[in-house]
Amino acid sequence: MRLLLVFMILATGIIKAQQPLIKGTITDKNQDPIPYVSVSIKGTSIGTTSDEKGNYLLNLKEEGTFEIVFSAIGYKSIEKDLDLQNGNVETLNITLQEYLEQLNEIVITSNRTRETLDEVPSSVSVLTSKQVENLSQTSNSVADILTEVPGISLSTNQTSNTGQTLRGRNMLILIDGIPQSTPLRSGGRDINTIDPSTLERIEVIKGATAIYGNGADGGIVNYITKKTEESKPFESSTTVGSTGSLVDISNTVGANVVQTFSGKVNKLGYVASGSFRQTGVYKDADGVIMSPFYGLGETSQYSLFGKFNYEITDKQTVELMYNYFSSNQDTQYVAELGEYGVTPTIGVLGEDPGEDQGNRYNHNAQLTYDYEQIFGKTDLRLNLYYQDFKTVYGYSDFFYDPSLGFDGGQSSILSTKKGARFNLKTPYSFGAVNGYVLYGFDVLNDNTSQELVDGRLWVPNMDMTNLAPYAQFKTLYKDFVFKAGIRFENIRIDVPDYTTITTYNEGETTPNGGGVAVDGGKLDYNATVFNLGLRYNKWSVFKPFVSFSQSFSIADLGRTLRSATENTVSEINSEAVIANNYEIGVNSQLGKTRLSGAYFISTSELGSTYRETPSGVFEIARQPEKVYGFELSLDTPLMDNLNFGTSFSYVEGKLDTQDNGDYNQYMGGDRIPPIKIVSYLSYRWKKRLDTRLSYTYSGNRDRFEDNENGDFSYGQGPVNSFNVLNLTTNYQLTPSTSLGVGIKNLLNEDYYNLISQWAARDSNYIKANGTQFNVSLTVNL
């Protein structure tokens, strides 16, 4: 019996010894160990992680040739091929090189093709996955994440993003190239249409652009969703967290959970995620409950996302993406009006007579087909996409109608888009000159309307069909990059016959307006837009660029139709807004220090600025506009583990109210923000601790006089400066588990958001959040 036991022990040892294994130590260039490095066998689920001393041990189940992948955040990944037989014990020591992403290595895709920033003669900002992850620790709102981008206004801290402009003009929001904005009836709800956990990165292309069509006067913001993980067949990431107020925690605690799966099996790659976030009551710096008016407190936010790609052949791939997002407020409070400039509007217990407000749903689906070298060296990309969006606004007695028995009502915007993009890319080369031609056409059908939740119609369904052929040329000659493009916009909008909504003064039975039968009709908007750009890349310390670009947009047609008369449609000026953007800038690399700067001027003969009539109705001021300003940014390491960055944004805008070339009136705060400075310090310790302290300064802007009653028109209220500090910290507890802590408004600054100041309305005069916390635990498998 003893001999049998000894034999079994020896046999087990022999079997184990026959399994090949890899071991070693992973260090940096200074021979210091690197902990928590991922070591995996490419294409399998086999993997391990280095310990705190950089040591790793990887057991293999069988012999063969393997591709070993070593990867860690902040380092360049390394792949090694090894041929291991039974019983082999391979010692493989690895040195990883620190990887600080250089300016010319950042790749963008929002120009419809993959380009590095050194190939783009215009201003572009990219928020990487790490930056998005850090910034989302202090907010579940993408609008807050965008505020660190130079040129983008600070967020409103509301569901509305009215006033959050890009270089003083509207920006077109995209999800993987799918338009989210509703330019036919601009509702100011397009920025917060996706959950931050769904994002891989955010690309911001600044300045007028016609790359994606209608509505990009200030530029485009493209939310790039997560990509599939190709190193393993299966990976999982689970995050649970809690949020609340540190001023007074009662009733403020919220919770969130995010689950993500990704991997690649043979030729099929996939990523899928779901999230749920619930916020508590929001309180200001004094611990007072903030008004729920379009607020982000007491909201339930749902998100579902999936992306699947399949390699049909070496040259053909197909990808399917779907994203669902919903965010609705269920509040136990109502607004108690304050007085603009004196006391804030706050929240008090009460029952709101309306339905929950918020983005009811936002469905996005896209099918992408790529065929490399479909003929000759020409590549084909075909996109088919669909978007279905609905947002609900707050209850208002403006919709009082005693004849129908309504004490008030709530409006909603519904928008459905179906589109296709057919793109071809053909490279060319003539000696030292090479480049490509990108050409094709876009087709878009947009149906947008505004109706009340009780069924009453406010804005009829506007059926827009847009066909736009285009061509984009890029030429590289030595250190020069030249780009030129042209786009032909052809838009037709069908407006049906309809009757404007009847309005009453509250308590009266005689209408004071509306009820007009309006004749519908067809509107044609056609234009040709151009872009030119030149960049010089010889010296890393000085890479200048100049560019001219145009955009094409239709002024908010729905707002005009809300108060139309019988013949309004036939009398509408069907000339689109063409914005001309002139820009000169430079990018510099001084060792590890990055500098960039740009000066811009944007003009348009027809404007899209709102102005309030004496009766309180808004209309579009179709008058010449000029917006100008500059941006500066710097990023530099102060020490090995300590980095510093800062940016400065200045924008100003004026109107030519007499159309005589004299820009005599400043634009309101709904278009033009005050000076913005954003700075940060980030510190990393032993690859386990990652801390970031960010500082935001918003300056003063006082351009308008009050009237004889001491009141200001909409958009003309004076804006006072404020300072905000945010802190985020991530600590790696184990190789697979990390703890995150975010503190928003660290010093509990007592201030009003920009929209609360420039809107000059009692209902909007709401304080900003006091100090808030967000604690999260993430487990990766």
CA distance 108 to 319: 19
Q: Does residue 648 sit in helix, strand or coil?
A: strand
Whole-angstrom CA distances from 526 to 490, 493, 580, 622, 646 are 5, 11, 16, 18, 42
**Minimal CA–CA distance to 675: which of 704, 645, 698, 696?**
698
Which stretches in the chain have pLDDT values below 50? 1-17, 101-104, 615-618
Helix (H) or strand (E) holding 568: helix 568-571
Helix (H) or strand (E) holding 318: strand 316-329
Burial bucket for residue 194 (CB in 10 Å: 0-12, 13-18, 19+) = buried
* AA letter at 668: G
> Tokens at residue 8, please?
């079994």
Looking at residue 617, what is its pLDDT? 45
769 DSSP assignment: P
Reading across the β-sheet that carries 219-225, which strands appear in turn? Answer: 124-127, 199-206, 219-225, 171-175, 178-179
Closest CA to 434 of 426, 423, 442: 426
Question: Which domains are assigned to the chain?
Answer: 15-95 (2.60.40.1120), 103-222 (2.170.130.10), 223-228+236-780 (2.40.170.20)
Q: What is the pLDDT of residue 71?
A: 79
Q: How far apart are CA 175 and CA 153, in angstroms?
A: 20
* Structure tokens given for 525: 């908007």
Residue 657: per-residue pLDDT:
87
Which candidate, 464, 443, 453, places its Cα nearest to that of 399? 453
- Residue with tokens 């009215």, as numbered in its chain: 162
Q: Which two tokens stand for residue 552?
A: 């094409």
Dist. CA 682–CA 726, nearest whole Å? 12
Per-residue burial over 590-629, b = 16 or more CB atoms within 10 Å of its CB, e = otherwise: eeeebbbbbebebbbebbbbbbeeeeeeeebbbbbbbbbb
Query: Would you call 575 exposed, middle or buried from its count of C-beta atoms within 10 A (0-12, 13-18, 19+)?
Result: middle
- B/e letters for 356-377, b = 16+ CB within 10 Å, e = fewer, are bbbbbebbbbbebebbeeeeee
For residue 641, the model assigns a pLDDT of 87
Residue 59 CA, chain-centre distance (Å), reads 42
Q: Which residues contact 567 (CB under 8 A, 6 or more apart)?
A: 519
What are the distances in angstroms from CA 179 to CA 118, 145, 166, 592, 637? 26, 19, 16, 37, 37
CA separation for the pair 760, 756 (Å, rounded): 7
Tracing tokens 């703890």 back to the chain, one arrives at 739
Residue 736 has a pLDDT of 87
Q: Are strands 378-392 and 357-375 parallel, antiparallel or unpaired?
A: antiparallel
> pLDDT (tens digit, 9 = 90+) per residue, 248-291?
999 999 999 999 999 988 889 999 999 999 999 999 999 999 99
Give how far Cα 159 sits from Cα of 140, 296, 310, Å.
Answer: 12, 6, 37
